[in-house]
Amino acid sequence: MNTFRTEINCSPSSPIGLDHKIFTIGSCFADQFGQWLINNKFTVLANPFGTAYNPISIHNLLLDALHNYVDSNLFTEHNGLWFHHNWHSQFTVNSQAELLAELQRVQKQIRTFLQEVDVVIITYGTAWVYELLATNQLVNNCHKVPATHFRKRLLSAAEIETSFRSLIQTLKSIRPNLRVICTVSPVRHLKDTFELNQVSKSALRLACYQIEQEKLAAYFPAYEIMMDDLRDYRFYERDMIHPSAEAREYINQKFSDRYFTPDTLRLLQTLKEIQKALAHKPFQLTSVAHQNFLKDTLRKLESIQHQLPVTSEIESVRAQLIHHA
């Protein structure tokens, strides 16, 4: 154990390869995580439903997409715009018919991707849920409808586990060798108060433990890394709620240590160095030094082009080269 901190060991697991198709879903942490994988040239469909925080809504979004189902009871209109209580507020248009068409379009995209997916990564944010009193239905988003229209309650670990089991059975019927990795978001929901946020995270963590014990999914300890390893406010954004860029990078590295092979890690390190170099803006585009830098970068890109999709980067570098230089 380190004298000044308690580091969490993420021992290697069955590797995730660059040829695997990955689907991420859940809280805003799933957005960031999915984008990191995309930046590393993995084939990813990252949080296409928009952010979703509670497990039941996350599971239902996937099941509804697979069954081509949009609940007509959960459309709502506000100030001339239409929303759906199971979907994020980024999905809003001027009529119910237009919204239905858009949701079905997204569901079709997701359904197609899930036919070939290898890994699904789910990030749970909260166990607190809201139920629409008019229909007694659990919703993903209240869309600023007055709070008097909803009942707030806490999901039990048993409810989450039962719902997850239904999801995994459906997913495995399509992709028998599918791997699912569950994690609890390290972002704290302090609008529920410190005490009730901890109750919520505890319910999520217990559910993930039971799911893992039944070998229905694996668990990645993003929450524990943030709370017990990086337990210092210097690892938070200024809002003191969201992990900082440094914290996210550290958690990503822990994920890499567990799921990427040494060869993949070396390849991604080369890519990272190239991306960092390409982000540098030179003062003189035509200088000999910069042209030599471009040629060296081009050689590095060409050396990995058969392993990673870097065609756009190669074309960008070639466009900056002065051939007589």
Q: What's the rounded mean pLDDT across residues 8-30? A: 93
Q: What's the rounded mean pLDDT across residues 148-157? A: 97
- Please say if the pLDDT value at position 173 is more than 70: yes
CA distances from 85 to 75, 99, 134, 297 (A): 6, 12, 13, 48
Least confident of 15-24, 51-60, 274-283: 274-283
Residue 277: the pLDDT is 85
Mean of the per-residue pLDDT values for the chain?
93
- Please say if the pLDDT value at position 324 is more than 60: no
Please report the DSSP string for 43-102 in residue order: EEEE-TT----SHHHHHHHHHHHHTT---GGGEEEETTEEEETTS-TT--BSSHHHHHHH
Q: What's the rounded mean pLDDT across residues 12-17? A: 94
The three-class DSSP label of residue 128 is: strand
Residue 5: the pLDDT is 76
CA distance linking residue 318 with residue 320, whole number of Å: 5
The three-class DSSP label of residue 259 is: helix
- Please say if the pLDDT value at position 65 is more than 70: yes
User: Quick check: 264 and 41 in contact, CB under 8 A?
Assistant: no
**pLDDT tens for residues 30-42?**
899 999 999 999 9
CA distance linking residue 221 with residue 224, whole number of Å: 5
**Residue 246, CA atoms < 13 Å, CB-side half-sphere:** 9
CA distance linking residue 11 with residue 8, whole number of Å: 9
Provide the percentage of residues in the chain whose pLDDT is more than 70: 98
- What single-letter amino acid sits at 181? I
Q: What's the rounded mean pLDDT across residues 182-202? A: 93
**pLDDT tens for residues 277-311?**
888 777 788 888 888 999 999 999 999 999 999 99
Residue 190: the pLDDT is 87
DSSP summary character for residue 236: B
Provide the percentage of residues in the chain whose pLDDT is more than 90: 82
- What single-letter amino acid sits at 229? D
- How many other C-beta atoms lie within 10 A of the C-beta of residue 317? 23
Q: What's the rounded mean pLDDT across residues 202-222? A: 97
- Please say if the pLDDT value at position 325 is more than 50: no
Residue 3: the pLDDT is 60
**pLDDT tens for residues 85-101?**
999 999 999 999 999 99
Helix axes 28-39, 245-259, angle to 10 degrees: 60
Residue 2: the pLDDT is 58
- Give the residue among 162, 138, 164, 163 at the shortest CA–CA distance from 151: 138
Place 233 in a pLDDT band, splitting at 50, 70 and 90: confident
184 phi and psi, to 5 degrees? -105, 130
In the chain the domains, ranked by start, together with CATH numbers, are 21-260 (3.40.50.1110), 271-320 (no CATH)
β-bridge partners, 121: 24, 181
